[in-house]
Each structure stands twice: as structure tokens, then as C-alpha cells.
Structure 1
Amino acid sequence: MRSWRDAVLAVYLASGLALSAWLTRLPAIADGLGLSPAGLGALLLTQTVAAFVSVSLSGVTVARLGPARALRLTSALVAAGLVLIGAGASAAGSLPVATAGFLLFGTGLATWNVAANVEGVACESALGRTIMPVMHAFFSVGTVLGAGIGAGAAALGVPVAWHTGVMAVVVLALVRTAVRSFQGEDPRARPEPRTDTGSLDLEAVAAASPRTHGVRGAWRTPRNLVVGLFVLGVALAEGAANDWVALALTQGYGTSEALGALGYGIFVTAMTAGRLAGTPLLDRFGRVTILRAAGTLAAAGLGVFVLSPWLGLGLAGLFVWGLGVSLGFPVGMSAAADDTENAAANVSVVSTIGYGAFLGGPPLLGLLGDAVGVRPALGAVALFVVVSLLLVPALRPATPSAPPRAVGAGSPRDGR
């Protein structure tokens, strides 16, 4: 069980490293291609379109291929995308090459994330306790490490092509090694009773059978749409920070590119801390109470970052913003899988809505930022956070609580 858990954590870590490889270099990418905020938003929109198409098909893709094979394929697409993004932004100075890179990256990472979530809820079920926030914390750990690498690369003047090329090799190696230990498709990975904190039984996710993945039916399930709308708000708040915090600091606060990258690191550090600290709090107080508190923090921190006239206070608000949105997405995934008979299809639906906001919202914010400035444009995100806060009760576990039964004596995985 430990090797399975560690393998899933490694996949989340690699996802964070891949994303931060170019997010931290956005100012350099924009300069290298001569793009305004609107032009950069249009470039990011190409990734969004590819990612949205990819995630819309992800339920069927992961069901047909299984999480391990899906991740082998999508990690190769992501690595190729990183190479082309770097080459287009610095080595070739070519917008078409960079655009091709963003298309490949968006296509790969969107289905990668759904496959990781499917394997993650399978592992969570087999363990019999809440661990999805910890898994997503490792995504944040990857982004923190990647932000540090990106800030160092920017400060040292390392070309974007060298930076993204090296990260592509690292990410591909991590994923190819990790998926060898996946067990989500093991027939022995069968349901565990659901706990009152949201750890879920697994049947559809572990079996990954097209017969149990009613994707069309999942789209017609009202609760999935409500949970998806909740995830939309928190995903937009997270995605907006990922894409625009560096530019909001450099253009809105007048900082250097290196400090802009460091600001992104502050945000993802807060995300990591929130996910690690939030897991035992979820076990103790439940989803609704913790998510209400987290949503309040997110709205307050975002408001401070947008309105503060002082850089120091703005950075403090940025940290609170990251802390507040940290639990929304992973808990949303666990809530989507409450219906164990159609868990993978439900995860696919909620992921599609969430990643649509995560990927589609920030480019649209770029258009608004071109008109009013990047930092003021981020204020629009607060409205979506408030909507998510109002929808928190919908994430209450949909099945009666039952004491967890962790894998232990007599389990076929004893001794692993």
C-alpha cells in the first residue's frame, strides 16, 4: 500500500513541477514573444481550448486506457509541450511554435489530472482514510519546488528553453517510474465503507470499466453540477493566481520578475500548508465546517491582495488567499465520488467543470486585465469565491456514515 500511495504522490508532484515550469517564466515568455496582457491571454486560451476538449473526453479515455496507460501517454504530451514552449519563447522566438507547445501541454495535463484523481480516490478508498488533500498538497509541493527553480532561473537569466527542457525530462522520468506501482486496476482493490469525513468506497474507479462509467448520466445528475459549480469558483481562484500573480506583482506592484516568481511561490506554499494541515481538520470537523472557514479566508485574502496599497500587506493577502482555496478542489473530487457506483464518471464531470474554470477563466481575465490592469481584474474572481462559499453544504457526504475499515490483518496487501 505504501508504494502505491507514494507512486500517486509522485504523479501529483510531477504535475506541479510541469505546470510551474512555464508559469514562473510567463513574464519572460511574454517579453520574448512581444505580447501584451491581452496577447498573452490569447496564447493561454489556446491551451485552454485543448485542455477543455481533453478533459471533456477524459472519463472515456481513462476508462478505456486505465490511469497508468493514460498517464504514460499524457506525460509524453506534456513533456513535448514544455520543450516547444521554451523553444518558441526564447530559442526560436516563434509564436506558432510556442502555441503548438501550449496546445500539447493543455491536451496532456488535463487528462493527466483526471487520471491522477481517479487513481487517487482508488488509493484513498483502499487506505480507508482521507488523503486526497495530501495528494493535492504534493501537487502544491511540486509547484513550490518549481517556483523556486523558476525564480532562480529568472534571476540568473537562464533561457526559458533550457529551463523548460530540463523540467520536461524530470517530469517524464518521474511519471514513467511512478506508474509501475499503481494498483487502482488491481481486482483486489475493492470497496471500503465510507467514513463520515468523506473517504470513499471504490468500485467504479478501481474497476475502470466502461460499463460503470455512465458519463452522460453523470452530466444529468444535479448534485454533480452543484459540486462542479462549487469547484468552478475555487478552481478559478487557484488558476487566476497561478497564471496572473507574477504579472500582478510586476505590473500592479512594480516589482522585479524574480520577486513576481517568488510571489507565486508564496501562493503555492500557502496552498501546500493548507492541504497538509487541512486533512486532519477535515477528519475532525467534517467537510462543511472546514470549507466554510476556508472560503472566508480565500475571499478575504483575495480582496486584500487586490486593494492593498502596500506590497507587504499584499503578499500577506496572497498567502491567506492560497490558504483559503487549498482544500476546495481535492475535497470537491472526494465529494464527486460519493456515489461509488459511478465514481469515475462523476469525477470526470466535476473535473471538466473545474478544469474548465481553472484553465478558461485566467485567459479571459487577461482581456479584462488589458482594460483595467491585471491586479484590479483579479477582483472579479472574488464573486465566484462567494458563490462557492454559498454552495458548501452541497458537499456534505451523500451516504450514511460508517466506521472506516483500513487494510490490515487478512488483507491481500499485508506486508506490502
Structure 2
Amino acid sequence: MSSTPVGARPPFSPELRRRRTAIFLFSLVVGVSMASWVVRTPAVRDLLDASTGQMGLVLFGLSVGSMSGVLSSASVVRAHGSRRAIAIGGTSLVVGLALVGVGSSLGLTPGVFVGLALVGGGVGMSEIALNIEGADIENASGRSVLPMLHGCYSLGTVVGASVGIGLTAADFPVVWHLTGIAVAGAAAALWAVPTVPATTGLARKGTGASSTWREQLSVWKQHRILMLGLIILALALAEGSASDWLPLLMVDGHGMSETLGSVIFTGFAAAMTIGRFSGEPLLARFGNVAVLRVSALVSAAGIALVVFADNVVVAGCAVILWGLGAALGFPVTLSAAGDSDDPTSSVAAVATAGYVAFLVGPPLLGFLGEHYGLRGAMVVVLVVVALASLLTSAARPREQSESESESGDVAVAPGAAVSRAETSDTKG
């Protein structure tokens, strides 16, 4: 018997390395695409000659598409596999992005609306499938993958925003910018998608895997999955509220200039990226439960300082804590959800809860902000994130939890990707 040190990480096989690289690249494409659209939003508005209300209706296409993609993705994965869902999502994304560029250059508001609906649907469809594929790689390799997968998305947003800001300053045409990103994304997807196994996430008869909508919803009857869903609701809300409101929060709530507010948001995105790329060694050393608990507490501390501190410097620096704390919430919770008898249904259910919180939560905070100010509205985020820190024991490896409850002994779940860090194990 030889002892395996805590934190030891087994090497990836060549096949798993290719699969990991493929989903990392695709996630990077999604991040670049979304950021490219966001930074050109003012230019698109001017090309359409749209009022604020009209632009709100155009943006509604993105929301409709996103929710449709998120809610339908799990069914597509179970019926046709992750590869098909990622292919559909990728095609929708790049076609939609190009349509936004062409439609805005021609002043066609309906064209931009449809383009954004395709973009949102593509992102929603592919994101759930990417997480299911990432969880499958984790279970096959015994290594943490999802934090870096989400880190690639964050890195993509930083790259896309930086390039977009430069092209905006150079007065580069929107149509060529967005079309160029779409073509580059399509080229990357053509390489990445075939690398994903056709059978990942595919429902098989006789395995006990959920297939009908009712059976898929029954996963929420499991106490552990319900707790993980609540954790991801809180931490996805922390991430989504910053993504949507942080620049305005710093401008209206702390009196910063618009430029400085944008710089602060860039700092948040950079902190998210750093936190996610640092996730694997932290998880290997400390495990899911400790990392999630500390993440929630660090994020709560950052939000509290932003809300209650009147010092601009303190509030600006606190955003880094907010980003670092929120960075690992989504991927680590999904990793824990993947440790189940039916990982496809569990990951899809928990991921859907997270994306719903990410998409629906921030607009609701806007309504609260109308009455209590944005700093006051963020108290809701602070409370739910702090409460999430009390639920993180749900992320403990499933078989370890069962063993502890039955006999007091500690056992490591063989299928859990990052569970090996929760305790020392031995190999014969």
C-alpha cells in the first residue's frame, strides 16, 4: 500500500486532453463573442437610430433566446448527446452574431432582434452541454476541469472587450467586426465540436437515467441536489448582478466617473478570470466544501464593503474580493452535482438553476434599485451569498457523505472529480 498525497493530480490521457482543449476553446469563443457584442451596443443603437425603449425591446431578443436555449439544452443532450447540442449552439451563435452585424449596418431592427435571439439561444444551448461534457471529463480523469472551463469564458470576455474597445476607438465598422468574430468562432467550432464524443450525456435505456421531463425534474427531490441548486442560485446571482450593474453601481452609488466605473468592472472580470484559473490547485489541496465556503464568505465580504463603505478606494478594491469570491461558485457546484447516479440530469438541473439566476436575478435587482438605490438592492445579494456559505457541506463527495452518516468512516467517491482532495486515499 502506498500513500497518495493530498492534492496529487493524475495526468490527463491524450484523449481527455483533446476533449478538454476543445471545450476550453469553445468556451473562449463564447466569451469573446458576447463581449464583442456588448462593447458595440452603443454603436448598434446609433446605427438603428433606436430610442432607449426601442433598444430595450431589441435586447429582449437576447433574453428570450438565452432562456429558450438553457431550458431546452438538457433534453437535446439526453436525446442526441452533448456534441449535437454544442454544434447546434455554436451554429446559432455565429450565425446570430453575423446577423446582428449585418442587420445593424442596414438599419434593420427586426434583423438585430432575431440575431440576438439566435446568439442567446446558442449560448444557452451550448453552455449547459459544455458543463455536462466538462463534468464527464472530470469523472473520467479525477481532475478538476469546470473552473478552467468557466475561466476560459471569463478570459474570452476580457479579450473580446479589449479588442472591441480598440476597434471602437478606431471607428472600425460594426458589421466587419462582428462578422469577423463570427467567422473566427465558426473556424474554432469546426475543430472543437468533432472532438466531443457523440455519446456524452446521451440517455441510455436500463441505466436509470432520466429521460422524460417529469423524471428530469424529479432530481430536485434529492436533498443534496436541492442544496447545490440553492448554492448556485446565490453565487450565480453574485456574478450576474456584477456583470449587469457594477459599472452603474460605482457611478451612481459611489460617484465615480463612467470611465472609472468601466475600469472597476474590468478589474472584476480580471479577478473572476484569475480565480477560475487558480481553481484546480485550490480544489486539489482543500476540496469542494472548503473552497466553496471560503468563496462565498470572500464574495460576501466584498459585496458588504461595496454596499456599506463610503470610501471610493475601499469600494473599488472590494470589487476584487467580490470577483475572486464569485469566481469558483458556479463551476465547483456543478462539479459536485456531477457526482451522482445520473450526472447528466444533475448537472443540467443545477446549471439551469444557475443560469436562470444569472439571467433573471439582475433585472429584478433593477426594480429594487428604483426604490432603494443600487447599493440598497445589493443587500439582497449579500444576504443570499452569506446564507449560501452555510449550505456548502452539500458539495462533499456523495459516497464520503453516505459513509460518514452510516459508520463515521471517510470514503472517497471513485467517480468524483475533485473529491480526492477532501481526504487522503490509498492505492494498492
Output the TM-score relative to the length of structure 1. 0.81
Match of 1:352 in 2: 352
Match of 1:97 in 2: 111
Shifted more, 305-314 versus 77-86: the winner is: 305-314
Does residue 24 (structure 1) correspond to residue 9 (structure 2)? The answer is no
Aligned mates of 1:142, 1:78 — CA distance in 2: 15
Percent of aligned positions that are identical: 36
Which amino acid is 1:163 matched to?
A: H
Which amino acid is 2:257 matched to?
A: T
| Contact 1:240–1:361 (CA under 8 A) maintained in structure 2 | yes
Shift of 1:113: 0.5
State the SS of the aligned residue for 2:257. coil
What do you get for the CA RMSD once the two structures are aligned? 3.0
State the SS of the aligned residue for 1:286. helix
Which amino acid is 1:18 matched to?
A: S
| Contact 2:26–2:192 (CA under 8 A) maintained in structure 1 | yes
Structure-to-structure mapping, 1:171-190, within 5 angstroms: 171-183=185-197, 185=199
Unmatched 5+ residue regions in structure 2? 1-14, 401-410, 417-428
Match of 2:218 in 1: 217
Aligned residue pair count = 383
Shift of 1:234: 0.9
Does residue 110 (structure 1) correspond to residue 124 (structure 2)? The answer is yes
Structure-to-structure mapping, 1:115-194, within 5 angstroms: 115-183=129-197, 185=199
Aligned mates of 1:48, 1:137 — CA distance in 2: 23
Unmatched 5+ residue regions in structure 1? 186-204, 407-416
Shift of 1:26: 4.5
Alpha-carbon distance change, 178 to 319 in structure 1, aligned in 2, over 3 angstroms: same
Shift of 1:94: 5.0
Match of 2:75 in 1: 60
State the SS of the aligned residue for 1:402. coil
Match of 2:257 in 1: 255
Alpha-carbon distance change, 305 to 153 in structure 1, aligned in 2, over 3 angstroms: farther
Aligned mates of 1:98, 1:348 — CA distance in 2: 29
Alpha-carbon distance change, 241 to 168 in structure 1, aligned in 2, over 3 angstroms: farther
Shift of 1:49: 3.4
Aligned mates of 1:41, 1:210 — CA distance in 2: 45
Alpha-carbon distance change, 234 to 69 in structure 1, aligned in 2, over 3 angstroms: same
| Contact 2:24–2:149 (CA under 8 A) maintained in structure 1 | yes
| Contact 2:139–2:415 (CA under 8 A) maintained in structure 1 | no
Aligned mates of 1:21, 1:77 — CA distance in 2: 16
Aligned mates of 1:239, 1:295 — CA distance in 2: 15
Match of 2:86 in 1: 71
| Contact 1:232–1:354 (CA under 8 A) maintained in structure 2 | yes
Aligned mates of 1:172, 1:123 — CA distance in 2: 24
Output the TM-score relative to the length of structure 2. 0.79
Which amino acid is 1:8 matched to?
A: I
Q: Compare CA radii of gyration and give the structure with the larger one.
A: 2
State the SS of the aligned residue for 1:57. helix
Aligned mates of 1:321, 1:309 — CA distance in 2: 17
Superposed CA offset, 1:138-175 (max 9, x none): 12211221222233234334454443332222222212
Shift of 1:133: 1.2
Does residue 402 (structure 1) correspond to residue 403 (structure 2)? The answer is no
